[in-house]
Amino acid sequence: MDRYAVFGHPVKHSKSPQIHAAFASQTGQALRYEAIEAPLDGFAGTLRAFVAAGGRGGNVTVPFKEQAFRLADRCDALASQAQAVNTLRVEADGRLHGFNTDGIGLLRDLTDNLRLDLRGRRVLLVGAGGAAAGVLGPLLGAGVGELVIVNRTAARAQELAARFGVLGPIEAAPLQAPGKGFDVVLNATAAGLGGRAPAVPADVFAPHTVAYDLVYGPAAAPFLELARGAGAAAGHDGLGMLVEQAAEAFWLWRGVRPATAAVIAALRGAG
């Protein structure tokens, strides 16, 4: 039975094993999928051991996406743009092919599931790590009118804005003064994993704002509570994004594209 895994630190909370088990059952694919917590200083060794034991592919979550990019033997265009990999496929010759399905997953959740038209919208992206880098290309490709990126370390936001500037209207701004009343505010930081909201001013939100956290479950609560308290129209966590990016990874591995709506609904119902 083909073996796949998600690698992260921490990773015990991950719903990816449930998602891929549901996809495998739905599509009749024989595979085993597990969660592997790699030491912070031992991702490369953990990944190599997995491949040596016959692993066929994996997903990569925080904090290893940029390391995965450096370890991949070749990458698709989105991963190369982002310099971050969240999906690895082991090819027949044993070489690692890296992909980034985060931006595809985010767009499918925003546009297909939440019915949000991004064309011409003013979008604020909070964070400049691997998760943020993975969604910038697809967001710009969706035709946003303005994309502002802020980060605790300003130089990192400036570097991303410069790298992606050829793709569309993107700029870096100070964390404490990014602008006011955005149409969409996306949180791509890991602050929620520590029970904190990112330090953005409340006036980035307005009554028409859609707030979206790329993480899901309790970790998204601090940001969504901040948005609600500031009067945002709607708030969503990243569970739909997680399922949609997983579906893209499943297709890359198996050549079969699973349906996602029932899986998202089942996970929502399970709490």
With b meaning 16 or more CB within 10 Å and e meaning fewer, what string describes 157-195? bbbbbebbeeebebebbebeebbeebbbbbbbbbbbeee
Rounded CA separation 160/144 (Å):
17
**2-100+240-269 and 103-237 in the same fold:** yes
Rounded CA separation 109/239 (Å):
9
Q: pTM for the whole thing?
A: 0.95
**Average pLDDT taken over every residue of the chain:** 96
Band (181; pLDDT cuts 50, 70, 90): very high
In this predicted structure, the answer to whether residue 38 has a pLDDT above a threshold of 80 is yes
Per-domain boundaries in the chain: 2-100+240-269, 103-237
Q: Name the phi and psi angles at 44, rounded to 5.
A: -60, -45
Q: Which fold, 2-100+240-269?
A: Rossmann fold (3.40.50)
Rounded CA separation 82/1 (Å):
32
In this predicted structure, the answer to whether residue 271 has a pLDDT above a threshold of 70 is no
Q: What's residue 62's pLDDT? A: 87
Question: Residue 58's CB: how many other CB atoms inside 10 A?
Answer: 28
Q: What's residue 193's pLDDT? A: 83
Known catalytic residues?
Answer: 65
Domain 103-237 in CATH 3.40.50.720? The answer is: yes
Q: What's residue 269's pLDDT? A: 87
pLDDT tens profile 9-37: 999 889 999 999 999 999 999 999 999 99
Q: Are the beta carbons of 57 and 95 closer than 8 angstroms?
A: no
Half-sphere exposure of residue 19: CA atoms within 13 angstroms, side-chain side: 29
